[in-house]
Structures are given as structure tokens and as C-alpha cells.
């Protein structure tokens, strides 16, 4: 049975140069048009990711969190997005 590819991937990196940044972690979101065709769907996914990221505590302010949507997840809600993002963040913290 083929492994199901997750719809969301995360890459965490350090900031390029230390500076006078805000005390919050940085967020980057990439949703290619090839993966999610309609702009309304892309915008909804971005809103969900930003909202979960905003509510997430304990993130390192020296890190940049880059989320990429690999495929259209369907009609997901805030709870499902939060669960997937928390798993991705926790996995990146253990690496």
C-alpha cells in the first residue's frame, strides 16, 4: 500500500542575521497554484495556517517557520489544521 503524502510540510531555519526583530517567530506560507487551483481555497488555507501559528505558544523567536502546502487538503477546519501543524512543529523540534 503506498504511503499517503501529507498535505503540509514544514521547514524550520534560523534567521539569517541577528538584528532588531520583533519578539515573535517568523512565518512563511507557500501554496503553489499547481497544488491548490482556486485563489479562494489558497486564501482560506493561508488564513487557517496564520491563525494556528498566531495561537501557538512556545515558538522560538530566533526561528523562521516555512510551511508549504503540497496538495489540496479538502475542506478542513481550524481543529484539523491545528492538529497537523502541531504535529509538524513537534517533529521539527525533535530533529
The pLDDT, as a whole number, for residue 1 is 42
Q: What is the CA angle 7-79-11, rounded to 5? A: 40
What confidence tier does 20 reach under pLDDT thresholds 50, 70, 90?
low
- Which H/E stretch holds residue 76? none
Contact 91, 14 (CB under 8 A): no
For the stretch 49-81, pLDDT in tens is 999 999 998 888 888 999 999 999 999 999 999
Of residues 5, 2, 25, the one with CA closest to residue 84: 5
Residue 81 confidence (pLDDT)? 93
Amino acid at each position: 500500500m503506498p504511503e499517503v503524502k501529507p498535505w503540509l510540510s514544514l521547514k524550520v531555519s534560523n534567521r539569517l542575521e541577528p538584528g532588531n526583530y520583533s519578539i515573535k517567530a517568523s512565518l512563511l506560507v507557500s501554496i503553489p497554484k499547481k497544488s491548490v487551483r482556486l485563489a479562494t481555497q489558497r486564501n482560506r488555507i493561508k488564513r487557517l495556517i496564520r491563525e494556528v501559528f498566531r495561537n501557538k505558544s512556545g515558538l522560538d523567536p530566533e526561528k523562521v517557520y516555512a510551511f508549504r502546502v503540497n496538495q489540496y487538503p479538502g475542506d478542513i477546519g481550524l481543529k484539523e489544521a491545528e492538529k497537523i501543524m502541531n504535529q509538524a512543529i513537534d517533529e521539527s523540534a525533535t530533529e
